[in-house]
């Protein structure tokens, strides 16, 4: 039995299951965390509790994740919880830091430079091999190189696999092999390495140099791995080398959100964790605090019966047992390990930095509208219909930044950008120019950092706003969309960051935080509707989400053949559904652009086609809902 000390504020901010994870500080721990169940809160509070209780030396804890944005979010939360000395990095950043440290000692001289991208060197390799390739084919070959390396596939095995599944584009298997070998040769000649080499070289150094292994394992004693379903064989191998046979590792993940198999990610490490560590503490987080019960039900229906799928339960709207909100009680798989918890009456936690109270069993998620499934005659009508609905919601008072349109592929974006522009809605396209790369943002960051060297003893907002006013920012926004409004939105996003700072933040500290955000691309919210692919939306959430283009050939994508590939597409839709907090709208169109071919609605819609009246409705060409359709 685990005795929970509910008086500790780091524990009272958690629900019962999260507390179990937070108190399991020693030994192997696996947290199976469904979408919206507060996994980041659970692991950051676990780390902070370990530090506060004296179980962890903060300088010897490593929190690992997969993107710079996620690592920055972990650091921000840990700092707010008093554990700012804990390292939170991506696998690549952690490996590169070790490589740069040990290379001069072991090999001599500075470590090889890391290529930002492979395209240019692959182009030179193609010239050396006399192989004609276009840009798209070069991208495919680069993906082949990455997949082979992160999958720890040797060249001999790769030749066999390539012959079996075929080469990308119009290349032959022999040409692909020649291209890869020429690329590796050029890379060695120029004393460079790619991002995958960073993992492999660091692992090789730890394996071959006992002194390096000893220092690395002495530096870090406790590991926490977020998004563990996305780990690749190369990353798993490096993690095992870092551990060196020790068992103090906590992994967190959701098999239903494995959407990067094409890049080498494998949920098998998550699903097989208990086999690897038979005595591991297994905790299931299935209480969804993000979405309405109606959205949770749609997500559950889509994933019912899939391997490793968790059965989400919406946080009960009546404040009672969350299981009361589960429309299909008893269908969940039994937990892998039972943990009995003794809990005192809950203590109301203090609000976090964003003003939200902590997650407890009494949190409520109110009911909302049943997710829409809308039909349109063609793609243009669908884009305009979605834009019209978005405009109506903004006119009703919904903040633009709380709305997202999530797409399967980037090529769908232009039509929705145009349609939203026609109704006067500002758009932010994820994957386009990054926030901190915008000219006005770079100018503002430079000006704030310069001013921070001279200005002191003034309220933070006054110091920041004075600098931004000198660059043209005003309290009130300019009228209408356009370039002037876009510039204002960028500067206003910086001004709004002041509200997120903890008490006592100085102007110099704010300037340093801006620099860190710029380096890690930890972007602030901008008052614009987000357009993003489903892949890039993972880890994010919005109040209202639109999922258009749900037709056969788009989702699932046309090249997804075989059960594994179709399951990956299913998980991709699951990620899209679970990004929504309050409203979810899905749609499809019968005809492609130019009415060249009629399409079938996605097979997944048949599983989602609700048994609730009015949930599936067609729409007119203008986007207005029409008669009910079952």
List, as residue ranges, the binding site for ATP.
33-40
Of the candidates 502, 510, 445, 499, the one whose C-alpha atom is nearest the C-alpha of residue 79 is 502
- Can you name the residues that pair with 376 across neighbouring β-strands? 589
Hey, is 416 helix, strand or coil? helix
Name residues whose C-beta falls within 8 Å of residue 374's C-beta, 6 or more positions apart in sequence: 385, 585, 586, 587, 588, 617, 618, 619, 625
CA distance 395 to 401: 13
First to last CA, the chain: 50
Spell out the SS3 assignment of 59-88.
HHEEEEECCHHHHHHHHHHHHHCCCCCCEE
User: Cis bond leading into 3, ω under 30°?
Assistant: no
Do residues 64 and 223 lie in contact, with contact meaning Cβ atoms separated by under 8 Å? yes
Of the candidates 400, 373, 372, 371, the one whose C-alpha atom is nearest the C-alpha of residue 387 is 400
- Cα-to-chain-centroid distance, residue 611: 31
- Burial class from Cβ neighbours inside 10 Å (0-12, 13-18, 19+) for residue 54 reads exposed
Binding-site residue ranges: 33-40
What are the backbone dihedrals phi and psi of residue 558, each rounded to the nearest 5 degrees, phi first? -60, -35
- Can you name the residues that pair with 223 across neighbouring β-strands? 62, 249
CA distance 57 to 397: 47
- Can you name the residues that pair with 88 across neighbouring β-strands? 63
């Amino acid at each position: 039995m685990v005795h929970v000390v509910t008086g500790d504020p780091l524990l009272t901010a958690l629900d019962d299951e999260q507390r179990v994870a937070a108190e399991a500080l020693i030994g192997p721990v696996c947290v199976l965390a469904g979408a919206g169940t507060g996994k980041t809160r659970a692991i950051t509070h676990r780390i902070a509790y370990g530090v506060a209780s004296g179980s962890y030396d903060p300088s010897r804890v490593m929190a690992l994740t997969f993107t710079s944005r996620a690592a920055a979010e972990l650091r921000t939360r840990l700092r707010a919880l008093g554990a700012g000395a804990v390292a939170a990095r991506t696998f690549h950043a952690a490996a590169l830091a070790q490589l740069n440290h040990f290379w001069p000692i072991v090999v001599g001289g500075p470590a090889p430079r890391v290529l930002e991208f492979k395209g240019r060197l692959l182009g030179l390799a193609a010239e050396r091999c006399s192989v004609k390739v276009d840009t798209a084919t070069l991208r495919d070959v680069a993906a082949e190189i990455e997949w082979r390396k992160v999958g720890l596939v040797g060249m001999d095995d790769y030749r066999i696999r390539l012959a079996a599944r075929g080469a990308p584009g119009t290349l032959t298997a022999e040409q692909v092999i020649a291209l890869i070998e020429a690329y590796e040769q050029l890379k060695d000649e120029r004393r460079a390495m790619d991002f995958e080499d960073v993992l492999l070289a660091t692992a090789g150094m730890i394996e071959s140099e006992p002194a390096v292994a000893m220092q690395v394992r002495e530096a870090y004693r406790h590991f926490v791995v977020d998004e563990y379903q996305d780990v690749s064989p190369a990353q798993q191998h490096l993690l095992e080398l870092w551990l060196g046979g020790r068992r103090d590792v906590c992994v967190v993940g959701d098999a239903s959100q494995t959407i990067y198999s094409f890049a080498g990610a494998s949920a098998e490490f998550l699903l097989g964790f208990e086999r690897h560590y038979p005595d591991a503490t297994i905790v299931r987080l299935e209480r969804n605090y993000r979405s309405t019960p109606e959205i949770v039900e749609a997500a559950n229906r889509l994933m019912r019966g899939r391997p490793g799928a968790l059965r989400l339960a919406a946080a009960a709207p009546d404040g009672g047992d969350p299981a009361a909100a589960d429309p299909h009680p008893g269908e969940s798989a039994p937990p892998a390990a039972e943990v009995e918890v003794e809990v005192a009456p809950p203590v109301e936690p203090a609000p976090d930095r964003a003003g939200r109270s902590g997650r407890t069993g009494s949190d409520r998620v109110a009911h909302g509208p049943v997710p829409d499934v809308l039909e349109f005659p063609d793609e243009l009508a669908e884009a305009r219909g979605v834009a019209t609905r978005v405009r109506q919601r903004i006119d009703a008072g919904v903040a633009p930044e709380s709305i997202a349109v999530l797409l399967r592929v980037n090529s769908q974006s232009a039509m929705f950008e145009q349609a939203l522009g026609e109704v006067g809605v500002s758009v932010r396209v994820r994957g386009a120019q990054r926030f901190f790369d915008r000219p006005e943002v770079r100018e503002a960051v430079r000006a704030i950092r310069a001013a921070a060297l001279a200005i002191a003893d003034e309220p933070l907002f006054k110091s920041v706003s004075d600098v931004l006013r000198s660059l043209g920012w005003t309290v009130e926004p300019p009228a209408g969309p356009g370039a002037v409004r876009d510039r204002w939105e960028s500067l206003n996003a910086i001004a709004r960051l002041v509200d997120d700072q903890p008490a006592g933040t100085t102007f110099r500290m704010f300037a340093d935080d801006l620099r860190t955000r710029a380096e890690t691309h930890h972007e602030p919210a901008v008052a614009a509707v987000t357009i993003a692919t489903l892949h890039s939306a993972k880890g994010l959430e919005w109040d209202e989400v639109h999922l258009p283009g749900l037709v056969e050939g788009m989702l699932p994508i046309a090249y997804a053949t075989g059960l594994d590939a179709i399951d990956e597409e299913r998980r991709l839709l699951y990620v899209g559904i679970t990004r929504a907090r309050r409203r979810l709208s899905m749609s499809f169109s019968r005809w492609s652009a130019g009415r060249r071919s009629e399409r079938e609605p996605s097979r997944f819609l048949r599983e989602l086609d609700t048994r609730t009246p009015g949930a599936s409705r067609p729409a007119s060409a203008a986007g207005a809902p029409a008669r009910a359709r079952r």
